[in-house]
Amino acid sequence: MKYAVKLTIFSFFLSAFFYSENAFCQENNSLSQNQKSEFWSKVRFGGGIGLAIGNNYTDITLAPGAIYDFNQYISLGFGVQGSYVKQKNFFESYIYGASMIVLGNPIPEIQLSAELEQLRVNTTYKDNFGSLKDNFWNTGLFLGAGYQTNNVTIGLRYNVLHNDNRNVYSEAWMPFVRVYF
């Protein structure tokens, strides 16, 4: 059941994107240079970079993304993510995947979001007795709200699919900072 809901949500967003994209095409499916420039003028790039280094601990994350502004109220975007996390003499993890986000701005200062994220998690736990591998897919559906000023949004999001026993994130609630240029 969960996978059917995820697939339905993903299909809806993907269909909305391609339907809107086709609306910009001429009847003969050829775009003039002016129209191509108009499309790219509505695309913004951004993402996140993370680095945490501590007492025998390392966490490095790179998550680029792009969004397309349909108008001043609605945007749709896609991103990829890669992370390396290691706690010396305990575990090492490689996390990678993709995400899709819909942003809504009912007023310029408020940004609402829905983000579907699919991550592959490959973790190896190590101790004095050997090692254990734990590899799984993690799906997150985040609903969020934030305060936006210029290209920066600061807010809070909630993972409605959070599972305490099998999740990349320790909590369902997460603060966020988004930057798109």
CATH number at residue 163: 2.40.160.20
Hey, what are 101's tokens? 């986000």
- What is the structure's pLDDT at 161? 96
> Does residue 36 belong to any structural domain of this protein?
no
Strands, DSSP E only, in 14-90? 43-54, 57-69, 74-87
Hey, what are 149's tokens? 């000023």
The residues, ordered by sequence, that sit 6+ positions from 48 with a Cβ below 8 Å of its Cβ are 61, 62, 63, 177, 178, 179
Residue 54 has pLDDT above 50, yes or no: yes
Specify whether the CB–CB gap between 95 and 86 falls below 8 A: no
> Does residue 12 belong to any structural domain of this protein?
no
Domain around 158: 44-179
Hey, what are 127's tokens? 């101790």
- What is the structure's pLDDT at 92? 95
Mean pLDDT of 84-108: 96
> Does residue 120 belong to any structural domain of this protein?
yes
> Does residue 21 belong to any structural domain of this protein?
no
Q: What percent of the chain has pLDDT over 70?
A: 80
74-87 and 43-54 beta bridge pairing: unpaired
> Does residue 156 belong to any structural domain of this protein?
yes
Residue 110 has pLDDT above 60, yes or no: yes
How much is the mean pLDDT over the chain?
A: 85
Task: Identify which has the larger pLDDT, 167 or 26.
Answer: 167
Specify whether the CB–CB gap between 173 and 162 falls below 8 A: no
> Does residue 117 belong to any structural domain of this protein?
yes
Each residue's pLDDT tens digit, 157-181: 999 999 988 888 889 999 999 999 9
- What is the structure's pLDDT at 166? 81
- What is the structure's pLDDT at 32? 60
Q: What is the band of 29 on the pLDDT scale with cuts at 50, 70, 90?
A: low
Task: Identify which has the larger pLDDT, 141 or 17.
Answer: 141
For the entire predicted model, the pTM comes to 0.76
- What is the structure's pLDDT at 23? 46
Specify whether the CB–CB gap between 27 and 44 falls below 8 A: no
Nearest to 67 by CA among 11, 108, 30, 20: 20
Q: Max alpha carbon distance in the chain (Å)? A: 67
Hey, what are 48's tokens? 């996140």
> Does residue 138 belong to any structural domain of this protein?
yes
> Does residue 23 belong to any structural domain of this protein?
no
Specify whether the CB–CB gap between 58 and 89 falls below 8 A: no
Q: Report the sign of the C-alpha dihedral through residues 27, 29, 30, 34, in that order.
A: positive
Indicate the length of the chain as a whole number. 181
Residue 31 has pLDDT above 90, yes or no: no
**For the chain, how many structural domains are there in total?**
1
Q: What is the band of 36 on the pLDDT scale with cuts at 50, 70, 90?
A: low
